[in-house]
C-alpha cells in the first residue's frame, strides 16, 4: 500500500474509530436499558408519609398523608390543593426541575432570598435531587426547612 494511502487511512481512522465507539456505546446503552426514550415512572404503591414544614421562626406544620406513586413535589402540591399552604415555585428547563420560591402559611409568606432558602430533607437526610424527581416510599418523613444562611 502506498505511504500516502496508509497515512490517509490512519488520519481518517482518528475520526472514525472514536465515532464508531460512541455509536456502539449508545446502542449498547439502549440494548441494556441504561438509555431509554421514555421516562420510567417509579411504582411505589400507596405511601403513608409525614410532611413537616419548619418555617424557621418557631412555627411548624405537620401532616400525615397517603398518596400513590407520588413524588415529594406531589405531596407539597396536595397540601396546597387542600388549602393548608400556598406555594410559589419556578420550573427550570435546564434542570427539568422545580425550585420552591415561597411557602405561605397562616397568612405569612416565607420567601427565599439572598439570606434564606427552602431546603428538603427525606428521613433527616438532605435530598440530592429535585423534589419532583424523588418518589416517596411508605413511612418516609419529608421535611421542608426554611433556612437562614
Residues that bind another protein (CB under 8 A): 11, 14-15, 29, 33-40, 93-96, 126, 128-129, 133
The residue among 34 and 66 lying less far from another protein, judged by its C-beta, is 34
Q: What is the C-alpha to C-alpha distance for residues 66 and 138, in angstroms, rounded to an integer?
A: 9
The smaller minimum CB distance to another protein, of residues 5 and 94, is found at 94
CB 117 within 8 A of CB 147: yes
CA angle 42, 44, 49 (to 5 degrees): 125
**DSSP state for residue 58 in the 8-state scheme:** S
Report how far apart, in Å, the C-alpha atoms of 9 and of each of 6, 22, 85, 111, 139 are. 5, 20, 67, 62, 62
Shortest spacing between CB 143 and another protein, in angstroms: 16
What are the grid coordinates assigned to 40, written together? 420510567
| CB closer to another protein, 69 vs 104 | 69
Q: State the nearest-atom distance from the C-beta of 33 to another protein, in Å.
A: 7
Beta carbon of residue 144, minimum distance to another protein (angstroms, whole number): 18
Report the distance separating Cα 144 and Cα 42, nearest Å: 22
CB of 37 to another protein, least distance (A): 6
Minimum CB distance to another protein smaller for 29 or for 48: 29
Amino acid at each position: 500500500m502506498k505511504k500516502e494511502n496508509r497515512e490517509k487511512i490512519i488520519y481518517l481512522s482518528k475520526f472514525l474509530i472514536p465515532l464508531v465507539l460512541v455509536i456502539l456505546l449508545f446502542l449498547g446503552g439502549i440494548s441494556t436499558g441504561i438509555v431509554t426514550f421514555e421516562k420510567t415512572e417509579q411504582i411505589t404503591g400507596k405511601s403513608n408519609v409525614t410532611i413537616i414544614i419548619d418555617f424557621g421562626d418557631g412555627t411548624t406544620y405537620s401532616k400525615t398523608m397517603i398518596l400513590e406513586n407520588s413524588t415529594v413535589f406531589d405531596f407539597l402540591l396536595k397540601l396546597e390543593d387542600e388549602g393548608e399552604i400556598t406555594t410559589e415555585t419556578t420550573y427550570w428547563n435546564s434542570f427539568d426541575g422545580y425550585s420552591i420560591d415561597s411557602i405561605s402559611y397562616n397568612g405569612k409568606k416565607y420567601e427565599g432570598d439572598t439570606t434564606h432558602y427552602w431546603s428538603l430533607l427525606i428521613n433527616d437526610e438532605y435530598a440530592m435531587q429535585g423534589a419532583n424527581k424523588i418518589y416517596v416510599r411508605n413511612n418516609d418523613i419529608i421535611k421542608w426547612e426554611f433556612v437562614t444562611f
